[in-house]
Amino acid sequence: MRGTVPAGPADVGITDLLDRTQQVFCAWDGAGRLLWCNEAIEHSLGFSRSVLIGARIDDLLHPDDLDALVVAPGDDRSGIRTRLTAGDESWRTFEWRLRHDSRRGIVFAAAHDVTDALAAEAEARALDARLREVVAHSPSAIFVQDLEGRPLLANEQWTRLQQSAADLTEAVHLAGTNTEPAIRDVRVVTPEGPRDYMISTFALRRDDGSVFAACGIASDITDRKRAALGLLERERILDTVLKTSPDIISLMDRDGKIHQVSSAEEAILGHPQESPEGRDLFPLVHPDDFDEVASAFIRMVTGSVSTLHLRYRMRHAEGHWVTVDSRGQAVVDEHGSFLGAVVVSRDVSDRLASEEKLQNLRQSAEQASKAKSDFLSRMSHELRTPLNSILGFSQLLQMDDLPMQQADAVEHILRAGRHLLDLIDEVLDIARIESGHLELSIVPVDLLELVRDAVNLTRPMAERTEVGVRVAIDPSAGLGVLADRQRLLQVLLNLISNAVKYNRPGGSVEISAEPRPDGTVRVSVADTGRGIRPEDMDRVFEPFDRLGAEQSGVEGTGVGLSLSRHLVEQMNGALTVESVPEVGSTFSAELPAAVIDPGLSSSGGRRVDPRTGGPAFRVLLVEENLTSLELVERVLARRPGVVVLAAMHGRLGLDLAREHRPDLILVDLHLPDMPGAVLLERLGEDETTAGIPVAVLSAEPPAHQVRRLLGRGVAGHVAKPIDVRALLSLVDAVRAASGR
């Protein structure tokens, strides 16, 4: 070529050689018209040489590159890049070397088509940029160094870690000398605390397999390791639970197959602890219980229920049946799909047997309790009936004008009879409490009013012994307690009478009350008596133990304090005692506080002055005991104009009531031919007797029965032994109401 354009035969060999190269060769004149080009330009641009020869080079250049191929005469330039249009309307980039032959006025050019190379370089740069972006934002620490240990690439995470762990860099350096990748765990102490990293190291190789660098990737596995340890711990706990649980714990899959079962299965059902996987639970279920168990499991599988609670029988390995209580919980995934179930089964065979035995014992106890209750009721009646005559006729004698000696004898009879009555009442009350048959009516009770009633009832005793009784309760405090009024009055009477009886002549008794922070009210009875020795304090509430007072001449049964404590406890309270020998004793009852309406009185009842004279007032007495009948007749004979009709059987009493239509009917609840309650019902159902006032006489009716009778219109109740004044007061009240 040497500055000429091949044109003749001598140049044919050079032309063939240039056509066979991949490099573009061409020449253009001073006007920029192509004079010659080889085949390589055809392959690059897609134009034939017939089109290119004679064309201006500027027509092929990109508008931005028009001045790039301008070269001064005699100049030689290289490294020039321009874009030429191609036949597919794309632009191809060429890198030129130009030489201007000034003698001939021709520019000779040689060029390489670098379009594909530039594209590859651009793609490589983009890939490198993306790679660096990934490395920079990777949560893992990434580091690359050459074989001399010089860093080639490191992200921020690696730089931060490297400050805390020199082992990381050393691990990467060793990777360059190893032919296989390596993985190791490294503990790194960071400012946030110790962290666990898994570092993966490997060598980077060229295409020929030679190592040119080493790479390390460190991933934080602290949470994963903690989770793995937690999972391992849970597995150990589960394994421990399955080994130690006294219940059968079955882990079941979605098909009802046992995946894992606790060791208790062998102890309860006798099945050896072999591999439980795939074993079916249902064949062990009793045929009579199978449908219920299967349907419950199906409901849990279908999502109808998430839990189950069943009692069914399972077959023991020896053939007998074991009753179990099973509770199941469905296991579901995050979408609520059923994965399986955990079923805990407890052997209740022994418990059921014990419950059956206990039920039999309970029934026997209830029968014994009923028999005891019946016995108490009958015994109360049998004991009170003779006392009724003793006390009743003694009261009648006391009302007569007797000589002094006989009057004293009657007083002794009355005192002994009342003492015996008190003893019977207290013993029967204790028996009722112990058997659970004591009926209480817990209502708000005005404490001050009740204390005043108790003081008034014990005042004659206090006056005889010259003991002063003082009530130290603020009337404005409005203190109230939740209690049975009659029973609480009984307790206060016991405490006050004891404080008076066991006091010293001229001593004092003080009754006080105060609210407590725990929502109770404490009512205390303090005396100035001889007190109780410390060694005797444990015996204070023992029944029939009078602590040596038997020799003192003071009357008592030794049951009152024991009964009082039982009564207070039945009313959800407590009775305690404090005492100092030769100084005195204080008995305190603490009961739940109650709000009292100052406009209401809990005493109830009204007295009517007895009337004398007037029309005859007929009383029908239905009483089985002849002595009691005679007593009532003798008592009512003290009221002028009162006529008594008597019947010892219920049916006769009903007939007499229909025939004579008396003004008042007195009915004993214990009759030989029918219960008194039945007679009351028949009197109320009969039109001829329905409007007649009826009162009840009874030795010992249950409190709830008395309340029920009074609620049904019964005019009143007189307990046996009969209090003569109470009976006369009842008759006077009914007589006054009738206008006779």
User: Which pLDDT score is estimated for 111?
Assistant: 93
Backbone φ, ψ for residue 173 (5° rounding): -60, -40
pLDDT at residue 343 tops 50? yes
Task: Determine the angle formed by the axes of helices 626-636 and 349-399, rounding to 10 degrees.
Answer: 50
SS3 641: coil
Lowest-confidence region among 95-109, 226-240, 304-318, 380-394: 380-394
List the structure tokens of 33. Answer: 């018209």
Overall average pLDDT of the 327-349 stretch = 84
- CA distances (Å), 592 to each of 110, 447, 475, 540, 571, in order? 118, 12, 19, 24, 9
List the structure tokens of 263. Answer: 């060791």
User: Which pLDDT score is estimated for 471?
Assistant: 92
Separation of first and last alpha carbons in the chain: 167
Specify whether the CB–CB gap between 636 and 592 falls below 8 A: no
User: Which pLDDT score is estimated for 607?
Assistant: 30
User: Which pLDDT score is estimated for 378?
Assistant: 61
Long-range contacts at 704-713 (CB < 8 A, ≥ 24 apart): 704/439, 705/677, 707/441, 709/677, 709/680, 712/680, 712/684, 713/684
pLDDT, tens only, 530-566: 888 888 877 777 765 555 454 444 555 556 787 888 8
User: Which pLDDT score is estimated for 466?
Assistant: 87
Specify whether the CB–CB gap between 68 and 79 falls below 8 A: no
pLDDT, tens only, 607-633: 333 334 446 888 998 887 777 777 888
Dihedral angle sign, alpha carbons of residues 567, 569, 571, 574: positive
Q: Where are the alpha helices (DSSP H) in 249-348?
A: 264-269, 287-301
Dihedral angle sign, alpha carbons of residues 54, 59, 61, 67: positive
List the structure tokens of 684. Answer: 């109320």
- CA distances (Å), 262 to each of 180, 321, 329, 510, 612, in order? 46, 19, 16, 69, 91
**What dihedral do alpha carbons 73, 76, 80, 83 form, nearest 10°?**
50
User: Which pLDDT score is estimated for 543?
Assistant: 65
Give percent of the chain with pLDDT exceeding 90: 12
pLDDT at residue 174 tops 80? no
pLDDT, tens only, 79-104: 899 999 998 889 999 999 999 988 88
User: Which pLDDT score is estimated for 708?
Assistant: 65
pLDDT at residue 384 tops 60? yes
Lowest-confidence region among 268-282, 597-611, 688-702: 597-611
User: Which pLDDT score is estimated for 10?
Assistant: 43
Overall average pLDDT of the 488-504 stretch = 86
pLDDT at residue 400 tops 80? no
- As a whole number of angstroms, the distance between CA 215 and CA 173 comes to 8
- CA distances (Å), 711 to each of 92, 134, 705, 707, 719, in order? 119, 93, 10, 6, 17
- Rounded CA Rg of the chain: 59
User: Which pLDDT score is estimated for 151?
Assistant: 76
User: Which pLDDT score is estimated for 277?
Assistant: 56
pLDDT, tens only, 221-259: 888 888 878 777 777 877 777 777 788 888 888 777 777
Lay out the sheet containing 664-668: strands in order across: 642-647, 617-622, 664-668, 694-698, 716-719
pLDDT at residue 711 tops 70? no
User: Which pLDDT score is estimated for 675?
Assistant: 83
User: Which pLDDT score is estimated for 227?
Assistant: 80
Other CB atoms within 10 Å distance of the CB of residue 124:
10
pLDDT at residue 567 tops 80? yes
- As a whole number of angstroms, the distance between CA 116 and CA 255 comes to 63
SS3 625: coil
- As a whole number of angstroms, the distance between CA 346 and CA 265 comes to 10
Closest by Cα among 392, 414, 411 to 630: 392
Closest by Cα among 431, 472, 433 to 451: 472
- As a whole number of angstroms, the distance between CA 55 and CA 145 comes to 54
List the structure tokens of 660. Answer: 């004579």
Q: Where are the alpha helices (DSSP H) in 400-507?
A: 404-435, 447-465, 485-501
Averaged pLDDT score across all residues of the chain:
79
User: Which pLDDT score is estimated for 150?
Assistant: 81
User: Which pLDDT score is estimated for 554?
Assistant: 52
Name the maximum alpha-carbon separation found in the chain: 189
pLDDT band at 432 (very low <50, low <70, confident <90, very high): low
pLDDT, tens only, 660-694: 889 999 988 888 778 888 888 888 888 888 888 99
Bond from prior residue into 191 cis (ω within 30 degrees of 0): no
Q: What structural domains and CATH numbers belong to the chain?
A: 9-118 (3.30.450.20), 138-220 (3.30.450.20), 228-347 (3.30.450.20), 353-429 (1.10.287.130), 440-595 (3.30.565.10), 617-738 (3.40.50.2300)
Which conformational region is residue 440 in: left (phi greater than 0), alpha (psi within -120 to 50 degrees), or beta? beta
pLDDT band at 1 (very low <50, low <70, confident <90, very high): very low
Specify whether the CB–CB gap between 696 and 709 falls below 8 A: yes
∠508-512-513 over CA atoms, to 5°? 170
Q: Which helix (H) or strand (E) holds 122?
A: helix 115-137
DSSP 8-state class, residue 99: E
- As a whole number of angstroms, the distance between CA 282 and CA 313 comes to 11
User: Which pLDDT score is estimated for 706?
Assistant: 60
Q: Which helix (H) or strand (E) holds 201?
A: strand 193-205
Bridge partners of 347?
A: 324
Closest by Cα among 216, 226, 202, 204 to 165: 216
Q: Which helix (H) or strand (E) holds 657?
A: helix 650-660
Bridge partners of 591?
A: 521
Closest by Cα among 411, 387, 416 to 399: 411
